[in-house]
Structure 1
């Protein structure tokens, strides 16, 4: 199955246009890939339909609309290869740092890389279609493997989420919404589109150098620009060897390049028996108003967990309230049945539950009367142990229909897959100052996180936590992130980032991130800063 999808991006444009011209819609995009300017690889071109429906592409390339002769020739051509999604349009390097990671991937990390590569079969085809439509090298989709191991529910210690590990502020800049009901960073297509556009912006900023663009995806463009100024070089390897980038960023580009070496010839590196996951497929239906996922599952004839799996951006039990014409994904072959049954379902029957946040004066009896439901049902659904002691701010799920389930309450616990906090093993000659500088934290933070006294001496082999504790404030049941508003602030004489942050209730690191500022940046009167501030704090 995978081999034909692989050929969409591998065969020469002439073969595609001759054999598929009658079924693949026009227009097409010529994706011209400019090699890293430190390399000598020639530019390459891949031709991909700009509006090709992934389901149609899959159908065509699985042989359903190919002549038997062509299908047999494709089978014969690809038989010797363990079939990974397309690789071959990104400039590689044999730098020793790359080779070191390639050795690691074949050694102690082989089982991890095997799992990631096998999982790639599920997500890469759709990611590469998005990258092709944005005019990016298809190989860049493998960056999601370095970011998250192709885990759409990944959540890092730095509060980055999804396959492309967007932090909330950067995600907002590229149209990814995150609130109590949904997190678009977990949406496969939306987050991939955002990642593609972010990478395009970085590529443009760094004058067509993909290595610098990829490094900036990890470190932020401000830090890479600062490193270029400090070193006087625009060559990534010079920056890596010059001590002007964080260790994480120095390793980030070689990790990607090593993975691409491996993906281009997996057999040569000992990955001959990969079993790729089935590519994710779905159909999209539109729900006119808030609709419970239980309803979607019943009307489509699919399981509830399957609907949740296909819609990871939905944190709760339903589509967001107040959002019209929300796009929901259902299993292939179920959309038509859903549309017919949904059209006959009255709007008031599309929701079985209501979220109520407890306020001063609320009692279960008052809520039961207001929503015309039973007090015992509220107690049972929400596992309330003491009905007389309701906690202000707690979310209650109110069952509006008989036959309720525990699914809404279960969905109050977020479904993120969280990574562990980062740690560091102390080496001979290390000091708190050098470790703090390396991981861009303060000595005081290291002391607090590791309960170190002011006189504590570090010992070689000692393991220190070097990242902040993970915060779940925005995901906990009963809490809601504050809505934000974009403010353009003009710097006045005497302003500091600390003072501006205090005025608008944001922190200085966020201001730097939103405006691509380094820690050494000096504010100038008249300079304009973009701030994403809590609603009500616009001035």
Structure 2
């Protein structure tokens, strides 16, 4: 393993290279059918830059960081020069630059470069790869950090299974623009749920990036999310599917809302369906969203078929067509945030059990904690996620145990056990809202007219007299468009009501 400073330096150089190539993509024109000599020269520089990066990786693995840095600097110079000239060279195809960019990211996933958790720096130190055992769920240090980017999915690196096609690129743009806030919220929420959810995935040998991608798309990390169709929990299980994987009611609590149990069930589901679909990740995700029965009928015996094959893609719902690339794009960004000019916030997700020194509900705790530790949106969502079995409005007695971010324990002791903030929180929480009595049932408005069927011997005058004389003959004639006040047997007349 090379020294960490050298590794860090290589990673930063890769970031510059990636951003340079993306800028070239935005400025290029259409490719010519027969590239000129100058265009071919640019493409040759791209190929040499890519080969130089591969050589640098080999030197890094061999422990020669100095040689690797020199090789990578040369490759970077070639890449920058080619990128700068592509936009001004007729016939230069910017897609070739994107292909090199994509290629380098996939090389990165197979290297020892870029193996830190997004948002974490060098000061975290080396991490063990052991899965927390029983009673160790609170030990964030036992969670695997190193090389999670290269976690295999049935013998394949995850990046090999994510095709950088049109739908995935479009989803990347959505996550980086309109959905960016949702992506950031999902990342923050996940960091506090990670020690419960990630070990379940690791036990099934599944990549963490995939778990994050599903979580981001399904609920954004909101443990109590419920869809219009009845799917519930952070990973949105339907009730029947949840039962099949051990999610049920326990003492009145639906365990679909339990993040650890939900992650376990999801990992088991993915494991089952990957076997069914011959490790085809896209078909497996489509089954998770659109139903495995439907996907099995569409795919039949040909499990090698692409999800984007018109025979499949054209038969699934628009929701599923959007769902699959959206999950894969979120997973890709989880692995490569810097390469897409994305910076996830640094989150200390370590949690701990805390004993209440004063009776309080989650809502009251949220008020007295305020925006402590630079949490502008407050701590309501995090506290709810970490304590899914509690009603957030129900006051918990002194001595109750709550799961909280460990860093909040000192804040709680300083702000929420005594002083003005818990008094304010209690006062707001216990405010009495006037309850008005239910209004009396509305009385149906009387029909302004009555209807009368003309019988033999009736005349308009006799009909008016018979019904109380509430109106004159001319009024009834106008109401029924009668000519010469003439009525016919069987005719239905509208008469003004006397009520």
Q: TM-score under structure 2 normalisation? A: 0.44
- Structure with bigger strand share is 1
Q: TM-score under structure 1 normalisation? A: 0.41
- Structure with bigger helix share is 2
